[in-house]
Amino acid sequence: MKKLFNKRRSLFLTQNSKYLRYVFNDHFVLVLMFLSGFLLYQYSQLLKDFPKTHWPIIMIVSIIILMLLAMGGIASYLEPADKQFLLIKEEAIKEIINSAKKRTYIFWLVIQTLFLVLISPILIKLGLSVFMITLLIFGLGIIKWLVITYKVKAFYNNQNLNWDAAINHEQERKQSILKFFSLFTNVKGISTSVKRRSFLDGILKLISKTPSRLWTNLFVRAFLRSSDYLGLTIRLVTLNILSVIFVNETYLALALAFVFNYLLLFQLLALGRHFDYQYMNQLYPVRLNAKASQLKGFLRVLSYAVTVIDIILIRELKPVILLIVLMLIVTEYYIPYKIKKMID
């Protein structure tokens, strides 16, 4: 039994490792390096000029710690067919889940501990001693174990394995990983959930329902009704606005705004492959290049809309001109180049 599940785990990790080269391609590594450098710089500045009012920092650190405590899915690698074919091996499956529980705990305990070690200078500034920080690490480690144990309880019903709950959890865990990779490349085996948001229907009414606007309608609907695209946009635009408002250095704020805009456009390129598995789309009586041209048009409108928000917030001539030039290069040259490579 262990051999079977180790094989499943190995296959899934191998599949994910193949997608990683698409995640860290193009200029994405440079963007991550820039963001890392910015965060380290801001961290050093925070330690040099530590604010006298501590409650905002305490609140932010507490929220991050609570998020880390809540994270961690149990990687059981169960498949839907196991409910029938492995039913008589329930006790062995329980052992597999218990091993997965321990792996999850060790992995997230390491992440959690590294974070606490990283912010230990902040904790010392807040008045905690090294001994108290050590106690905090051990205490949060115990809480993490209790949280993961509570999650595993959902897999059982009166000491019996709840096959449906365990299998559904594993499918959702895998889908969340594959959805992340789908932002960078075409991913097999992904299933997307679509939800109509009736309060956004007014936007759809602005687009004429004609054959010439077919792909625009499809892209806008996918954007508004898929939580992946809309949620991603809300998060990156929010980070964009916060960086412009709260970063005092104008050009640093501009650089961050540009990075977030670039990431938004780069990841929304996945819209071009959103309908690849719906073969009926190939029967539409539209021009062959309509898909690429209308994706460019949609991303162009979104890019310039976010840029206008940045311009309103920055309100300084030279930085605004620089941002406009950079966004023109990305929107009119880089994005069309990527779309041309993606859509033949």
CA 22 from chain centre, in angstroms, equals 15
Top pLDDT among 222 and 306 is at: 306
Q: Is the pLDDT of residue 331 over 60?
A: yes
Of 135, 150, 139, residue with least CA distance to 72: 150
Of 150, 18, 162, 157, residue with least CA distance to 78: 162
Q: How far apart are the first and last CA of the chain?
A: 45
Q: Is the pLDDT of residue 26 over 60?
A: no
Over residues 208-217, the mean pLDDT reads 76
**72 with 147: CB under 8 angstroms?**
yes
Distance in angstroms (rounded) separating the CA atoms of residues 341 and 281: 20
pLDDT digits 0-9 by tens, 131-167: 999 999 999 999 999 999 999 998 988 888 999 999 9
Cβ neighbours, 10 Å, residue 21: 10
Distance in angstroms (rounded) separating the CA atoms of residues 264 and 298: 13
Q: Which two tokens stand for residue 157?
A: 């019903």
Kindly give the residue spans of alpha helices, DSSP state H, lying in the chain: 2-23, 28-48, 55-70, 82-85, 90-118, 120-125, 130-153, 163-182, 201-205, 214-225, 227-246, 250-268, 290-314, 317-329, 335-342
**251 with 319: CB under 8 angstroms?**
yes
How large is the C-alpha radius of gyration of the chain?
Answer: 24
Q: Residue by residue, what is the 3-state secondary structure of 270-309?
A: HHHHCCCCCHHHHHCCCCCCHHHHHHHHHHHHHHHHHHHH
- H/E segment holding residue 161: strand 160-161
pLDDT digits 0-9 by tens, 175-211: 888 877 766 666 666 665 656 666 666 676 677 777 7
Say what the pTM is. 0.69
